[in-house]
């Protein structure tokens, strides 16, 4: 398709999509709204056919992509029916109670201690125990070292201690907005950006973006629900500006990451993937990066469907978290090595692919039919829960689902990783532990009457 025609059609789709979203859900960060960014637009980029290595899709591949798109969009509109019937568009009273809980001094101390344990664990697990030490420093000092994916290093059995850093990070944005003193605000700002900075030092740009996205979503809902006098357009401009800055930094860092982590110039990506445009640098590198990691994952999916011999491989897709919980992770890892996904992909070094690849590898068409339904109901269920009852628990679960999984379904399979579900459980465990500690302290103080100030905000969760 001609790029100008594609831009016109894409603009029309965006206008219609967001008008529907605004009328039915009134929320820019709803799953339906973000589905356009995380799936529909990346999928439509395939129509540009910028790479000479792209091939026409078989009808089966087209049917799979269309089915997944329709199912995810339809399920993402379901919350609108319930919200409209209940007439509870925004529960600002519950949001105020959540902020009241975040203001409590003892809860703040508890939150910082829990986050501090996770921060120390992240440094130990991902930098100190890393075979090459700090990847950024090591690669700069020794460009000839092996480029094995040490930026994916998670440490050993103590990795679970790192989990609070992921699940609690967005709440320090709320703490930052609530705080009044300069020292407190500086401290919360440092805690807020601790993991994104560590991820960059580790040269894991994806993990940095996941965390920044969750913080960006927290910012949006603060502007939406805080009740401060601000026009709707002004709130959206603030959110869009922050999103634009993050996206610009991600794109602008492409050349640096390729040269440091991959030990190859970014310009080489253009030739390897068969791009024939010539706009000069840095435009060629930027377009190559965007198209490679937004459009070509779907081409990898097509190649996988065409070349994979078929069969059932339970545990490599939708069921993988269940296998992990039942201590069968080694069995699944052996299956993944046996399949060797990269051997079916023709678009290397763009080695990413949408979640449909693992769904197809696990159960063929059965996996393709079930995966979009399961994931869409999971994300939209957490969204409806959050819309009706904003709380530390519901916010944490939804922010994790939307920022770590839903927004990136076009280029990853994060739904299959048990760690991403554990991220969402962090706020739940945090509140339960806090509640238990308060009750223990109340019991030890021989208090006859319950602490009404504590129980009221906790019941809203």
Pick the most confident of 108-112, 341-345, 369-373, 412-416.
369-373
Element (H or E) spanning 64, and its range? helix 59-86
| CA dist list (Å): 249 to 197, 204, 230, 393 | 13, 14, 27, 30
Distance, in Å, from the CA atom of 427 to the CA atom of 292, rounded to the nearest integer, reads 35
Q: Is the dihedral of CA 432, 435, 441, 447 positive or negative?
A: negative
Taking the CB of residue 339, how many other CB atoms lie within 10 A of it?
20
What is the percent of the chain with per-residue pLDDT over 70, rounded to a whole number? 84
What backbone torsions phi and psi does residue 275 show, to the nearest 5 degrees?
Answer: -80, 135
Comparing CA positions, the residue from 196, 198, 199, 203 lying closest to residue 257 is 203
Question: In DSSP terms, which residues pair with 275 in a beta bridge?
Answer: 51
Give the residue-averaged pLDDT of 60-86: 91
- Can you tell me the mean pLDDT for 375-399? 92
pLDDT of residue 170: 87
**Res. 150: pLDDT tops 50:** yes
Q: Whole-angstrom Cα distance, residue 427 to residue 399?
A: 11
Structural domain spans, the chain: 91-459
- Tell me if 365 sits within 8 A of 345, measured CB to CB: no
Q: Are 76 and 381 in contact (CB under 8 A)?
A: no
Angle at 205 between CA 256 and CA 117, to 5 degrees: 130
Least confident of 135-144, 270-279, 347-356: 270-279
Q: Report phi then psi at 53, rounded to 5.
A: -90, -5
- pLDDT tens for each residue of 228-256: 545 555 666 666 676 666 666 666 666 66
Query: Residue 447: is its pLDDT beyond 50?
Result: no
Per-residue pLDDT reduced to its tens digit, 401-446: 999 999 999 988 899 988 899 998 999 999 988 888 888 887 776 5
Helix (H, G, I), strand (E, B) or coil at 275: strand
CA distance 67 to 356: 11
Is 14 a residue whose pLDDT tops 60? Answer: yes
Kindly report the pTM of this predicted structure: 0.87
Mean pLDDT of the chain: 84
- Evaluate whether 139 touches 200 at the Cβ level (below 8 Å): no
Predicted confidence at residue 319, as pLDDT, reads 92
pLDDT at residue 57, as a whole number: 93
Confidence (pLDDT) at 229: 47
3-state DSSP assignment of residue 51 = strand
CA angle 339, 343, 346 (to 5 degrees): 140
- The predicted model gives 205-216 an average pLDDT of 88
């Amino acid at each position: 398709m001609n790029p100008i025609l594609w831009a016109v059609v894409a603009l029309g789709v965006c206008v219609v999509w967001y008008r529907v979203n605004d009328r039915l859900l009134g929320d820019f960060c709803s799953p339906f709204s973000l589905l356009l960014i995380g799936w529909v637009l990346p999928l439509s980029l395939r129509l540009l056919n910028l790479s000479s290595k792209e091939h026409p899709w078989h009808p089966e591949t087209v049917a799979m992509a269309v089915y997944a798109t329709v199912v995810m969009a339809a399920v993402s509109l379901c919350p609108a029916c319930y919200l409209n019937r209940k007439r509870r568009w925004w529960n600002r009273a519950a949001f105020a109670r959540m902020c009241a809980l975040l203001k409590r001094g003892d809860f703040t101390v508890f939150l910082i201690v829990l986050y501090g344990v996770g921060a120390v664990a992240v440094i130990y697990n991902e930098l100190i125990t890393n075979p090459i030490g700090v990847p950024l420093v090591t690669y700069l000092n020794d460009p000839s070292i092996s480029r094995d994916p040490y930026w994916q290093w998670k440490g050993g059995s103590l990795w679970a201690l790192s989990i609070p850093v992921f699940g609690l990070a967005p709440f320090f944005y709320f703490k930052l907005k609530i705080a009044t003193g300069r020292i407190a605000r500086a401290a919360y700002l440092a805690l807020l950006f601790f993991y994104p900075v560590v991820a960059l030092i580790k040269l894991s740009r994806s993990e940095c973006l996941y965390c920044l996205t969750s913080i960006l979503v927290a910012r949006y809902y603060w502007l939406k629900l805080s009740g401060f006098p601000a026009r709707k357009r002004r709130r959206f401009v603030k959110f869009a500006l922050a999103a634009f800055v993050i996206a610009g930094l991600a794109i602008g860092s492409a050349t640096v990451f390729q040269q440091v982590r991959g030990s190859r110039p970014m310009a080489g990506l253009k030739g390897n993937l068969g791009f024939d445009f010539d706009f000069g640098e840095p435009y060629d590198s930027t377009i190559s990066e965007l198209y490679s990691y937004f459009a070509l994952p779907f081409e990898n999916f097509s190649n996988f469907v065409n070349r994979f011999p078929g069969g059932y491989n339970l545990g490599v897709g939708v069921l993988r978290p269940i296998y992990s919980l039942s201590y069968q992770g080694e069995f699944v890892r052996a299956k993944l090595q046996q399949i060797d996904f990269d051997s079916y992909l023709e678009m290397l070094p763009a080695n990413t692919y949408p979640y449909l690849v693992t769904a197809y590898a696990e159960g063929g068409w059965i996996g393709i039919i079930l995966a979009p339904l399961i994931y869409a109901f999971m994300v939209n269920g957490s969204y409806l829960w959050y819309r009706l009852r904003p709380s530390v628990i519901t916010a944490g679960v939804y922010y994790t689902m939307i920022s770590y999984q839903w927004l990136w379904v076009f280029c990853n399979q994060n739904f299959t990783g048990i760690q991403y579900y554990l991220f969402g459980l962090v706020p739940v465990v945090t509140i339960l532990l806090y509640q238990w500690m308060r009750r223990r302290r109340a019991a030890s103080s021989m208090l006859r009457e319950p602490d009404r100030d504590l129980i009221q905000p906790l019941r809203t969760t």
